[in-house]
Amino acid sequence: MTSTLPWRAATLAELRDCLDLMTADGIVPGGVIAYGTREGQPSYLTSGVVAPECGDAPPTPDTLYDVASLTKVVATWSLTGMVLAERLPLDAPVRDVLPHLQPGAPGGQITVRQILSHTSGLRADTRLDQYRNTGTDLAELICGEDLISDPGAGHRYINRGFILLGLLLAAATGRRLDELATELWRSLGMHATTYGPVARGAGVAPTEQRFPGAPRLWGLPHDDNAALLGGAAGHAGVFSAPADLATYAIALLTSLQDRSPLGRWLADSMMPQAAIEPGLDRGLAWILADQARVAYHHGFTGTSLYISPATGRYLAICANAVYHHQDNRARLAPLRALALKAVSDET
């Protein structure tokens, strides 16, 4: 691991200008960028307001955002390495902790490694609503369906794999996913991070208005499937604050240096498992860039988290990009590209 590299003032100015431009253009009501290194305290760039419903106050490091698919790396991935791996090896079939599966259930043969690397071959659509009122265990229903490809055959981003992984964690430990996650977060000093729902208020960023004239989603998981699971799911449902995401990133980078169990898990997870596209690979949950020197993940609602062990830098983006329209999340691409460059630039 190289020594920590300081942030360049010009890079920070570019990030601030991009966030301000997105706010001015109505892509987001506002947002927060948390950044720093594994040594020292986090810094923040803020823009705009939390949302018009919250008044004129700007977002802060403590504003809660629905982080959507960041749940995969903030909760499920870390719990898999710290809790599940003791009970189910990465390359063992999931049926080993789900003895109630029907013999020959197609999904029973997949492994935790394949779920984490999005190579499981499970159905790509999520649609948990189709399973309502069946009276059958959800893990059994997911595993009982035909696979769309051979396990390990190639990369396809699949939410239901992480839903299954959340169910595996609960089955293997006899504890609820939200209980396991809360215990982990508090041990790392993340005191605001929680599974939803959370109470509405000026300190919580609203997301989408699903119907004209109806109340906006506010403190409820934006992801419908996470909502069907009561807010706590392996793929989505977590609310976190920029300050907590910075705390998490520092813990990850420090654990690598200390070679703690979490650090060893991160090191293993930054080994490429499957190609996504030229220049990008999937590790265990994380997207890997810059020749696997940077790990990052996005959330549908407008969140991102980047860590670079090579430079010692991290960056988190919190913005409610689905506030005006779901398509606005695609317009975050320039900011996300700048963020990736910022954490990896060694000049």
Q: Model confidence over 336-346: pLDDT tens digits? A: 999 999 999 98
Residue 296 has pLDDT above 60, yes or no: yes
Domain membership flag for residue 303? yes
Are 231 and 276 part of one and the same domain? Answer: yes
> Is-contact 193 239, C-beta < 8 A?
yes
Name the residue with tokens 């449902």.
Answer: 237
Domain membership flag for residue 253? yes
First to last CA, the chain: 16
Are 284 and 301 part of one and the same domain? Answer: yes
Are 233 and 306 part of one and the same domain? Answer: yes
Domain membership flag for residue 189? yes
Residue 2 has pLDDT above 60, yes or no: no
Domain membership flag for residue 262? yes
pLDDT score, position 204: 98
Which domain does 155 fall in, by range? 77-175
Reported as a pLDDT band with limits 50, 70 and 90, residue 263 is very high
Domain membership flag for residue 1? no
Q: In what order do the strands lie in the sheet with 65-66?
A: 65-66, 238-240, 194-195
Kindly state the average pLDDT of the residues 247-276: 97
Are 208 and 339 part of one and the same domain? Answer: yes
- Contacts with 321 (C-beta within 8 Å, 6 or more apart), sequence order: 27, 28, 301, 302, 328, 329, 331, 332
Name the residue with tokens 């823009």.
Answer: 47
Domain membership flag for residue 3? no
Are 163 and 37 part of one and the same domain? Answer: no
pLDDT one-digit tens code per residue, 120-160: 999 988 889 888 888 889 999 999 999 999 999 999 999 99
The domain that holds 210 is classified in CATH as 3.40.710.10
Residue 165 has pLDDT above 50, yes or no: yes
Q: CA-CA distance, 73 to 206, in Å (whole number)?
A: 22
Pseudo-torsion of CA 154, 157, 159, 161, nearest 10°?
Answer: 20
> Is-contact 91 259, C-beta < 8 A?
no
Pick from 244, 236, 139: which is nearest to 184 by CA? 244
Question: For the chain, what is the radius of gyration of the CA atoms?
Answer: 19
Q: CA-CA distance, 155 to 303, in Å (whole number)?
A: 22
Cis amide bond preceding 93, omega within 30: no
Q: CA-CA distance, 31 to 49, in Å (whole number)?
A: 7
Are 325 and 195 part of one and the same domain? Answer: yes
Domain membership flag for residue 2? no
Are 51 and 116 part of one and the same domain? Answer: no
> Is-contact 186 150, C-beta < 8 A?
no
By 3-state DSSP, what share of the chain in percent is helix, strand and coil, each rounded to 5?
40, 15, 45
Kindly state the average pLDDT of the residues 273-294: 97
pLDDT score, position 1: 47
**Cα angle 39, 306, 284; round to 5:** 115
Are 143 and 185 part of one and the same domain? Answer: no
Are 247 and 314 part of one and the same domain? Answer: yes
Are 209 and 288 part of one and the same domain? Answer: yes
Instruction: Show the DSSP H helices in the chain as ranges.
Output: 9-24, 71, 77-82, 112-116, 138-144, 159-173, 177-187, 224-228, 242-258, 261-269, 333-344
pLDDT one-digit tens code per residue, 49-89: 999 999 998 999 999 999 999 999 999 999 999 999 889 99
Residue 334 zone, left/alpha/beta (φ > 0; ψ -120 to 50; rest): alpha
> Is-contact 73 265, C-beta < 8 A?
no
**Cα angle 279, 238, 324; round to 5:** 75
Are 169 and 306 part of one and the same domain? Answer: no
Considering its fold, how many domains does the chain have in total? 2
Please say which residue of 148, 175, 202 terminates a domain: 175
> Is-contact 1 267, C-beta < 8 A?
no
Give the SS3 label for residue 25.
coil
DSSP string, 174-241: TS-HHHHHHHHHHHTT--S-EES----STTB------STTSPPP-SS-SSHHHHHTTT--SSS-EEE-
Please say which residue of 115, 145, 175 terminates a domain: 175
Are 145 and 197 part of one and the same domain? Answer: no
97 token code pair: 């902790």
Kindly state the average pLDDT of the residues 269-290: 98
Please say which residue of 124, 149, 175 terminates a domain: 175
46 token code pair: 């803020």
> Is-contact 52 25, C-beta < 8 A?
no
Domain membership flag for residue 336? yes
